[in-house]
């Protein structure tokens, strides 16, 4: 039976069925989670888990699914940019920076501390135990904002003050993450004799150049696009296409030339168009493209990537502790940052919770670390568990954080929710 399903799926037209299964299951699970007052994105994630190798193994990741899901997250961040009020963003800019810094420092330290308990013996051919343990902290720094963006959108809170702070902090978090990763891999290279200082300088230089590039291009495009679209009163399809092209090119340039995440480029592209007269029209059309094809594939693909590994008892214990540390350190770090910037207690907790989810970046960082001897292979399983659980728990946390009337009841609101 399982073999005959595999035959169907690998047939020439299997991807039609793949796509049908993904669309159907993400919608059904999404409606189910909505029924129990949870965001639909939780259902979409669960659908991927059920379809993927972690459960029934019906759908495999193909090149097609990978590309569509990456375009999906690019479009998601582009529309997040479109919906952002730049004035509001500027106001929360400094706050976002502080939130991001504390949201990197606290998980970094906490990850290091917890890893130091378990990982104490030097291993031949690996970096020093100190660097290895810091590296576990580095993995915990990378927030994945897409889940939070989708959840806030669904709840209509994306343009709230806390929503703005989260998105700003997530973008900065991405930048800080690249720097921290470069520093530690350079340090590991330094142990082996090569000099890493030039690498770090190069990365920081590229990031600075990216922002100069992004600001100039965004301003220029904003001016030209608004002038061009202002010539007609009608909403024309060509506006949507040109905006899409701009979004894709900015995403590509960010990754290819500057080493910055493609979604950061897409977000900037969205920002560039956010104050124009066509922002609503664009948002509407990209929303349709998203919900009909890109988003379901993207959220399902996250679940599709999950393969649950075999683990020893010690590793299971480590996984549980690492998970708790991963969740609490972001809530505490980012929440503290927000509190320092005079956000209310309620908003501080919301911001902390919005930054909890880790995504594929954590997995990519982990693989890179394993490749250069910074991480033992047995720690992959705990990282996978952290990614999966924080991803699924974030929309649930946000749901309650934005619903509760009083911040004191957040912790216990789960029980009283209908």
Residues within the interface to a second copy (CB under 8 A): 8, 11-17, 19-20, 23-24, 27, 31, 62-64, 67-68, 70-71, 74, 237-238, 240-242, 244-245, 248-249, 251-252, 255-256, 262, 285-286, 288-289, 291-293, 296
The residue among 310, 352, 350 whose CA lies nearest residue 335 is 352
The residue among 152, 165, 177, 147 whose CA lies nearest residue 90 is 165
Nearer to a second copy, 18 or 135 (CB): 18
How far does CA 169 lie from the centroid of its chain? 12
| Minimum distance from residue 285 beta carbon to a second copy (Å) | 6
Nearer to a second copy, 280 or 288 (CB): 288
| Minimum distance from residue 92 beta carbon to a second copy (Å) | 29
Query: Is 273:279 a contact under the CB 8 Å cutoff?
Result: yes
Nearer to a second copy, 248 or 272 (CB): 248
| Minimum distance from residue 64 beta carbon to a second copy (Å) | 4
| Minimum distance from residue 246 beta carbon to a second copy (Å) | 8
| Minimum distance from residue 24 beta carbon to a second copy (Å) | 5
Q: What is the DSSP string of 161-203?
A: HHHHHHHHHHHHHHHHHHHHHHHHHHHHHHHTT---HHHHHHH
Q: Measured between alpha carbons, how far is 77 from 288 in angstroms, rounded to an integer?
A: 15
Nearer to a second copy, 62 or 275 (CB): 62
Nearer to a second copy, 43 or 335 (CB): 43
Does an H or E element contain 328, and which?
Answer: helix 313-340
Q: Measured between alpha carbons, how far is 232 from 113 in angstroms, rounded to an integer?
A: 60
What are the tokens at 333?
């770090």
Residue 16's Cβ-count burial label (10 Å; 0-12, 13-18, 19+) is exposed
| Minimum distance from residue 8 beta carbon to a second copy (Å) | 7
| Minimum distance from residue 298 beta carbon to a second copy (Å) | 14
Nearer to a second copy, 71 or 110 (CB): 71
Q: Measured between alpha carbons, how far is 33 from 83 in angstroms, rounded to an integer?
A: 25
Nearer to a second copy, 191 or 255 (CB): 255
| Minimum distance from residue 391 beta carbon to a second copy (Å) | 22
Residue 277's Cβ-count burial label (10 Å; 0-12, 13-18, 19+) is exposed
CB burial readout 236-270, b (16+ within 10 A) else e: eeebbebbbebbbebbebbeeebebbbbbbbbbbb
Residue keyed to tokens 């982990």:
366
What are the tokens at 91?
């106001």
Nearer to a second copy, 31 or 212 (CB): 31
| Minimum distance from residue 76 beta carbon to a second copy (Å) | 14
Nearer to a second copy, 167 or 261 (CB): 261
């Amino acid at each position: 039976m399982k073999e005959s399903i595999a035959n169907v799926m690998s047939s020439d037209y299997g991807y039609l069925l793949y796509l049908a299964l993904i669309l159907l299951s993400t919608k059904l699970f999404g409606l189910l989670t909505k029924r129990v007052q949870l965001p639909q994105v939780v259902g979409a994630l669960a659908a991927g888990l059920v379809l993927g190798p972690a459960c029934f193994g019906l759908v495999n990741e193909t090149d097609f699914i990978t590309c569509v899901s990456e375009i999906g997250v690019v479009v998601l961040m582009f529309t997040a940019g479109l919906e952002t009020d730049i004035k509001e963003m500027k106001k929360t800019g400094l706050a976002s920076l502080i939130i991001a810094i504390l949201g990197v420092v606290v998980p970094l330290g906490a990850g290091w501390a917890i890893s130091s308990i378990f990982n104490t013996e030097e291993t031949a051919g690996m970096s020093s135990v100190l660097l290895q343990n810091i590296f576990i902290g580095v993995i915990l720094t990378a927030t994945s904002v897409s889940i939070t963006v989708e959840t806030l959108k669904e709840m209509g809170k994306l343009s709230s003050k806390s929503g703005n702070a989260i998105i700003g902090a997530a973008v900065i978090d991405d930048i800080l993450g690249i720097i921290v990763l470069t520093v530690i891999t350079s340090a590991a290279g330094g142990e082996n004799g090569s000099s890493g200082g030039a690498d770090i300088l190069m990365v920081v230089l590229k990031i600075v150049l990216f922002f100069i590039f992004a600001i100039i291009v965004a301003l220029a495009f904003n001016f030209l696009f608004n002038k061009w679209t202002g010539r007609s009163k009608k909403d024309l399809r060509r506006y949507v296409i040109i905006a899409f092209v701009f979004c894709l090119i900015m995403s590509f340039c960010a990754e290819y030339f500057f080493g910055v995440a493609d979604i950061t480029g897409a977000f900037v592209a969205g920002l560039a168009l956010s104050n124009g007269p066509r922002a609503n029209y664009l948002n509407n059309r990209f929303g349709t493209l998203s919900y009909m094809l890109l988003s379901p594939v993207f959220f399902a693909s996250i679940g599709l990537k999950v393969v649950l590994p075999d683990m020893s008892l010690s590793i299971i214990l480590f996984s549980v502790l690492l998970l708790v540390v991963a969740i609490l350190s972001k809530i505490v770090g980012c929440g503290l940052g927000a509190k320092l910037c005079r956000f209310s207690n309620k908003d501080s907790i919301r911001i902390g919770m919005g930054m909890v989810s880790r995504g594929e970046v954590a997995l990519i960082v982990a693989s890179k670390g394993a490749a250069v001897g910074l991480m033992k292979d047995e720690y992959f399983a705990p990282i996978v568990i952290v990614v999966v659980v924080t991803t699924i728990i974030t929309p649930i946390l946000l749901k309650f954080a934005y619903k509760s009337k009083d911040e004191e009841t957040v912790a216990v609101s789960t029980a009283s929710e209908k």
